[in-house]
Every structure is written in structure tokens, then in C-alpha cells.
Amino acid sequence: MTATSTYFTADRALAASSAVQPILSGFYPDPTICRAGEDYYLSTSSFEYFPGAPIFHSTDLVNWTQIGHVLDRRTQFRLGNPLPSTGIYGSTLREHDGTFWFITTNVSDFGAGQVLVRASDPAGPWSEPVFIGGAIGIDPDLCWDDSGDCYLSWKAMNFTEGEIGILQARIDTSTGMLREAPYPIWQGSGMGAVEAPHLYRIGEYWYLLLAEGGTERGHCVTAARSTHPSGPFEPCPSNPVFTHRSSIHPVQNVGHADLVQAPDGGWAAVYLGVRPKGSTPGFHVLGRETFLAGIDWVDGWPVFDEDRFLVPIADTAFSDDFSAPDLNSRWVVPAGEPENVTRRNPNGGMTLLPMPDGSPGMLCTRVKDLRWRAEATFAGQGSFVLRIDDRYSYGINVRKDVVQAWARIGGLTVDLGSSPAEATTVLKIESVSAGSPTVPLGHGGPDDIVLSVVQQTGIVQLGRLDGRHLSTEVASGFTGRMLTLEGAEASGSVVSVNYTPQT
């Protein structure tokens, strides 16, 4: 198949090659996967957003349904210092002897060490955590040998001294205590930012996958193997085994891979990638997304076949009037909890409550498409916002009798157009094609963001802004664009939200 072509599946669903179409579109980075019987389970990083670590189910690797979050209680994901791009980092999800295990790092509570939970059902509930204070760093991995010993591997580091390296130790999973002093294992092929170890027993060898080169354009996957889980490891002679660095591939930054074996004995990998658009150097706005590749074994080493699967293009549209008994799992909160910032109204809709520090309560959902439009209907006061973090966002406020659009770029906040408010106000945000061509004929970014209010007399555009400012290349960090509902000091409620992808 041609990577950039689209196809129809047997049931007439639109699909595209796995080389270019993510299996999870939007801000779902650092995927980790396991299989139990005919069922696959996958989880990703979620950073400062709570509940943390969304978890998905599939029976075919290409169609995925969210079944909840692994970390849905604050005792599991302690609030700590919830700055942007802190919180839940890279993780490992495994099934062992009928129990599902999930281990991760909460950077907002970094000194507690790695966070280990378990469950009999991946949909939950997951246990209270065991903290592994002897393993400070990120990207923990678990595996078991034939005698039942559990090996923890992780990227040892801190935020003052920096990187230390890939360490390993056997652990007691019931207490979190290390059974020996940590020792170094393979440190990669020589590139920087060596992280994300995953260790597997496959045949006679233990295979170790690492991410190297940083999670930007130099990202790649490297491999080594040993006859013992602790090494010494023999590097793959063709490292890196997977990368798109220095290429014109439409998916960049690929890496942070995790392997899984299918029931028929075949192999696959999930990995993260981004879809940059616009002028040089390219701007990605949805965050790091999850992709799928096939794996062949050639001379005892993994070979990535990124074009193997046909991935249905998921319908990402939704409409929510907040009438269901439970909040949909798409909604998450930075630095807070949904139950503390939302109150259902008896006559429908939802009131957003302030945070404990008095700042507006926020309810967020991931943007999953390159082109889209969304409308939020407010009764009274509130805000509809597109954000990367608290320093980079575009939004529209309803305050008393005025609708005001604004932009926040770094430390600068600028008011844009305004219009009279109505009793029930419909605020509209759209991602549209950039109005300028790309360099050298213009400055076109990945898109333009249009802010409008829908009045009885028609749509009033309040602002049109360059989408580059709401990209990772400008704002930095590890997350992606989020559509956000915000409360106000005076009472107001969200009546409904509608989101529709555009071609």
C-alpha cells in the first residue's frame, strides 16, 4: 500500500496506512501495550492531567476503545507540584500470571520514586500504589524471569544533576523494596537522552529496547540482547532499528516503542510520533500520538514494518450536554479533579467551580484532528479556550453582557474583538488552513485558529490567529492542544459542547 493513500475497509470504513495514521490521534504519548488471550490493552502518558494514564482495549490492534484511566484516585496520582508537563510520564503495562501491572513515574511527586499498581481487570479498579523510593528517575519497566524474580529497569536521573543512565534491580513487588543495589545495564548506542527501557524474554534471548536521541526530530529506537536479563548486552549491528530522523516522512519524532506478540505468534510495536505541518521547521500541535507497526525478526533482531496495518480513521466527533450520570472519560483536569470543579445542574448542563486557589475551574479534552471546529454553549458567564498550557492559549470569554476574544502568548495577553452577549451564548473555535503560504513565499503555520461567537443574526468573527503559537515547537513541553471549558467568578453554566473534525 502507499503510505499517504486512503482506503476503504471491508465494512466501508475509511482507513489509511499505519505508517501515517495513528491508532490514537491527539495527545497520547509514550504508549505501552500488553496482551491477555485475545485482548490487547494499551496505556499512555498523561502528564499533569487527572485522571491519569488513560487505558484502552482492542482485539485487532487497530480499533481501540478507552475503558477508563489507570490512575483515577489522588492516592494513586498524588497532586504534588502540578506544573505543566509534570505528572505522569512513561510507563509499562504488563500481564503476569493473571495479574495486570502498571508502573510509572509521577514527576509531580518525584521524590517518592516509581509508582506501581496492579489489577485483575485492566478496566479497574487498580490497587493503591506501592512506591519504589530506591529507584529515582523516569520510564520504569517490569519483567519476570522463569524463577519469578521481577526486574525493574529505569532511566535514572533527577532535575538538578541530570541524566545518570539506565539502571536495573530486582524488586519485591509487594513492598517496593529493591532486593539489591541498582546496577547499570546497556546504555544505548551512543546518542543522548537514553531512556524508555523495555525488556522482553523472546526465545533464548532477553531483548532490551531503548529510546535515544530525545523525543524530538532525532528520536529513534535501539535494541540489544543478552542471555541474561542483566546483561552483558550485545547491541544490534544495525542500530537504530527504527527512526525517521533526517527524512521527509510525514510522521516525525518516532520512538519510545513497546513490543507485543499476537495470538498467532506474529509481533507488532506501538510507538509515538508527531505530524508536523506548515513552514520550516514544521510545527506539531496535537502532541505526540500513538502509532502501530509490524515487527519481523531478521537474523534474531527486530525489523519495523510501519506500513503493515490498515488503520480505520476513527470518528472523533462528539456532542456532550453533560446529562449522563458520569462524566465522559474524555474530560480531564490539570492540577485538579473533575468532581471538585464541576457541578451538574438540575435542569441540565454543568457549572464550573473555582479551584481552591480561586482560579477558574477547567475541564479539558484532547484535540484529535488537524482540522476541526467546536462550539460551546454557555448560559451566563464562562470561557471557551484552546490551550497548550497556562502560558499559551487562545480563548473567548463571556462576561456580563460582552463576549471578548483574547490570545495569551508567553507572558503577553492581548484582547481581540468583542461583541454583545446574548442570554445563551454560543462560542466557536475552529482550526482552518493557514491564510499564508509557507516559507519563502509567506509564513504559513500548521493552521489558523478562528475565534467567533454565533449570534442570532449570524456568526461574528472576533479573531484569527497563527496556529504556530499553540505548537510544541513554540510552547515547548510534552503535551498537545486541549479544548477547555473554564468557569468565571460570577455564576454561569455550560449547556453543551459539540466537536466536529473537518477535512
Q: pLDDT per residue over 282-340, tens digit each? A: 999 999 999 999 999 999 999 999 999 999 999 999 999 999 889 999 999 998 999 99
Q: Any idea which residues carry the catalytic annotation?
A: 30, 195
What global pTM score does this model have? 0.95
pLDDT tens sequence across 308-317: 999 999 999 9
| Helix (H/G/I), strand (E/B), else coil: 328 | coil
29: which 3 cell numbers?
504519548
pLDDT score at 12: 56
With b meaning 16 or more CB within 10 Å and e meaning fewer, what string describes 401-415? eebbbbbbbeeeeee
Q: Is 485 exposed, middle or buried (0-12, 13-18, 19+ CB in 10 A)?
A: buried
Which candidate, 86, 103, 255, places its Cα nearest to that of 159? 86
Q: Give the pLDDT confidence of 98-107 residue by residue, as tens digits.
A: 999 999 999 9
Q: Tell me how far apart the alpha carbons of residues 36 and 206 are, in angstroms, rounded to a whole number.
A: 21
What would you measure as the largest C-alpha separation in the chain, in angstroms? 73
Lowest mean pLDDT among 208-212, 230-234, 380-384, 470-474: 380-384
Do residues 435 and 447 lie in contact, with contact meaning Cβ atoms separated by under 8 Å?
no
> How many of the other CB atoms lie within 10 Å of CB of 147?
5
Whole-angstrom distance, CA of residue 146 vs CA of residue 160: 38
Alpha carbon 460 to its chain centroid, in Å, reads 34
Amino acid (1-letter code) at residue 490: A
Say which residues have a Cβ less than 8 Å from residue 457's Cβ, sequence separation at least 6: none
Give dist(CA 449, CA 467) in Å, integer.
Answer: 6
pLDDT in tens, 107-165: 999 999 999 999 999 999 999 999 999 999 999 999 999 999 999 999 999 888 888 99
Instruction: Report the C-alpha gap between 157 and 176 in whole angstroms.
Output: 19
The residue behind cell 506478540 is: 261
Rg (CA), the chain: 23
Q: Do 343 and 467 touch, CB atoms closer than 8 A?
A: no
In sign, the C-alpha dihedral spanning 29, 35, 41, 46 is negative
Nearest to 421 by CA among 490, 354, 333: 490
- d(CA 392, CA 449) in angstroms, rounded, equals 13
194-239: per-residue pLDDT in tens? Answer: 999 999 999 999 999 999 999 999 999 999 999 999 999 999 999 9
Phi, psi of 111 (to 5 degrees): -65, -15
DSSP string, 347-358: TSSEEEPPPTTS
Quickly count: other Cβ atoms within 10 Å of residue 327's Cβ: 17
- Residue 468 DSSP SS3: helix
Q: Which residues contact 142 (CB under 8 A, 6 or more apart)?
A: 92, 94, 96, 101, 103, 116, 150, 151, 152, 173
C-alpha neighbours within 13 Å on the C-beta side of residue 317: 6
Q: Which domains does the chain have, with CATH numbers?
A: 6-286+301-312 (2.115.10.20), 318-501 (2.60.120.200)
At 469 the three-state DSSP class reads helix
Q: What are the φ and ψ backbone dihedral angles of 457, each rounded to 5 degrees? A: -90, -5
